[in-house]
């Protein structure tokens, strides 16, 4: 069986959001599935020595423009959220708990989180927002609220971040296809060609 694409992202990543809106349909055209793996970009940047581009004064205005321009180019709704970026550990931990219950539910939740932040401007850093989005996706919020207080989910996310680093993931979105790494939503055309040809 052909291995799924591995899609690493942070829920506060604009390019991660843009990739999330296209990656499943792209993979499906080639009979491939996608394994969604939220991580914490702050952890990856700390370990790799990176800096978010919007925190570099010389880059900030360009990237804020490019987020919106890229969304227009891809015909994806986008509104620059404030505050930006935000902490996403609650959303990421909730995703992994939901994934263990129901893959489809976890995927609905992940899409809802991205759209809540990048379309509706909701504060996805709060557990209240995360629980509300999970409930709207079909989850039991009380059970999830209890799970978010347990250390097991914290350790799960730490492990996911550590595993991503070992694999060479350094940002969001970072997509791995059969061992080949692609970074950024603008790599979707390259990913499509790779899936067509089996490499180039």
User: Domain holding 76: CATH number?
Assistant: 3.40.30.10
pLDDT band at 198 (very low <50, low <70, confident <90, very high): confident
Indicate the DSSP class of residue 168: T
Instruction: Give per-residue pLDDT as tens, 117-128.
Output: 999 999 999 999
Structural domain for 35, as ranges: 5-197
Given a cut of 90, whether residue 199 has pLDDT beyond it is no
Instruction: Give per-residue pLDDT as tens, 173-183.
Output: 999 999 999 99
Q: Which two tokens stand for residue 164?
A: 């991503």
Instruction: Give per-residue pLDDT as tens, 102-122.
Output: 999 999 999 999 999 999 999
pLDDT at position 1 is: 53
Measured CA to CA in angstroms, residue 71 lies from 5, 46, 79, 136, 189 at distances of: 22, 28, 9, 25, 15
The total domain count for the chain is 1
Tokens 């040809």, residue located? 197
What residues contact 49, with CB distance under 8 A and at least 6 apart? none
Indicate the DSSP class of residue 21: T
Q: How far is 123 from 179, CA to CA, in rounded Å?
A: 35
Do 27 and 195 form a contact (C-beta atoms < 8 A)?
Answer: yes
Q: How far is 7 from 176, CA to CA, in rounded Å?
A: 7
User: pTM for the whole thing?
Assistant: 0.95
Positive or negative, the CA dihedral 61, 64, 70, 71 is negative
Instruction: Give per-residue pLDDT as tens, 55-82.
Output: 999 999 999 999 999 999 999 999 999 9
């Amino acid at each position: 069986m052909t291995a799924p694409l591995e899609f690493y992202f942070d829920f506060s990543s604009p390019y991660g959001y843009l990739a999330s809106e296209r990656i499943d349909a792209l993979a499906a055209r080639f009979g491939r599935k996608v394994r969604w793996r939220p991580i914490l970009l702050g952890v990856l940047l700390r370990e790799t020595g990176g800096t978010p581009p919007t925190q570099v004064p010389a880059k900030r205005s360009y990237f804020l423009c490019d987020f919106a321009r890229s969304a227009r180019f891809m015909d994806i709704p986008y509104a620059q959220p404030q505050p930006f970026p935000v902490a996403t550990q609650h959303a990421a931990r909730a995703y992994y708990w939901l994934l263990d219950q129901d893959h489809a539910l976890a995927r609905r939740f992940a899409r809802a989180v991205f759209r809540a932040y990048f379309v509706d401007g909701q504060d996805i850093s709060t557990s209240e927002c995360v629980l509300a989005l999970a409930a709207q996706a079909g989850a039991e919020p009380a059970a999830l609220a209890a799970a978010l207080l347990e250390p097991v989910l914290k350790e799960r996310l730490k492990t996911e971040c550590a595993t991503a680093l070992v694999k060479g993931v350094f940002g969001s979105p970072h997509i791995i296809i059969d061992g080949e790494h692609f970074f950024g939503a603008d790599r979707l055309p390259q990913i499509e060609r790779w899936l067509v040809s089996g490499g180039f």
